[in-house]
Amino acid sequence: MPTLSEIVRQAQSMRTQPKLLSELVEESISILRDERSNSNNRVNGGVILPSNTRFIVIGDIHGDFDTLVKILSKTDAIRFLEDKRGYLVFLGDYVDRGRSQVESVSLVLLLKKHYPDRVVVLRGNHEPPPELPPYPHDFPYVLQAYYGSLGIEIYNRFKEWFNELPYVAIAKNEILFLHGGPPTRVLDECNGLEDCLGLESYPPSISILEEVLWNDPVEYIDYTAPSPRGAGVVFGPKVTRKVLGLLGVKAIVRGHEPAMEGYKLNHDGRVLTLFSRLGEPYFNEKAAYMVVDTRVPSWEVDLTEWIRKISVDEEPEVS
């Protein structure tokens, strides 16, 4: 297997190699389709992960290649993935806004290529379905600026990739991973994991996908209210308690929102938000990620114990 430094160099080279980038995207589409058809841990739009294991969890990246490399280096991610009990979970939003979007998404694609069974790449709202375009969504224009008309073709491949990405992952009895928040419109009538998360068929209904990609936790309501984002809803602690009970998990780990310290907690510490990038237009002081070992008894008592941070002035140490 290649070292992290070799994978990083390969990702950096993709900006000047559009043919290789297109081939890498096609290869990842094939991996994801094969998972959905043949993998024991893939249920349509969801990934079922084992309990009693370890996770590196990375939130929104938005083209911040440098911080992503620092996180992978500090966690010794390659050695972690080679451990049979180690998983790397990305919570979505690989592109848009950042200066190194091609390099960042290429690094994620390469990790999935080399460790397909250990790397979970979830869909974010910036990996959009056509019905739910985010703003700004500058990734297609970045590709066109680099590659001209070929960039349009490459973006079309990426749109296929977006549609193949799972949108939830669940570690049984432990954690629900997603980008935004749990679907709320079906909670009063659903029964069981697959029903509540829309995993009984593929693709999911657009209403479920909208909520999973766009919802946000808040403290000022009990249940739900329209979201100021214009898509999804904001949800309160009663929703979280109901979801945890229905799915039999202890926490929700999600991305989607910037936070000054790189993370925030909601709903009595049961909802953890991770934001794993630095720089404009957010200007958060820290980027955060999570390294959690669910083999530890009562791991869920204080989720902040598992939070790690990156500051702007830290240098990467890639080996």
Q: Catalytic residues, which ones? A: 126
- Residue 277 pairs with which residues in a beta bridge? none
First to last CA, the chain: 13
Neighbours of 36 (CB within 10 A): 17
How many Å apart are CA 262 and CA 277, to the nearest integer? Answer: 8
21 vs 6: CA distance, rounded Å? 16
Is 161 within 8 Å of 25 (Cβ atoms)?
yes
Q: What is the DSSP letter of 14?
A: G
Cα 182 from Cα 210, distance rounded (Å): 10
**Ranges assigned E (strand) in 105-220:** 119-121, 168-171, 175-178, 216-217
HSE-CB at 11 with a 13 A cutoff on CA atoms is 28
CB contact set of 102 (below 8 Å; sequence gap of 6+): 14, 15, 21, 142, 143, 146
Q: Name the residue with tokens 């910036």.
A: 126
The three-class DSSP label of residue 196 is helix
Spatial CA neighbour of 213 closest among 237, 186, 192, 231: 231
Q: Which tokens in the block code for residue 288?
A: 């955060």
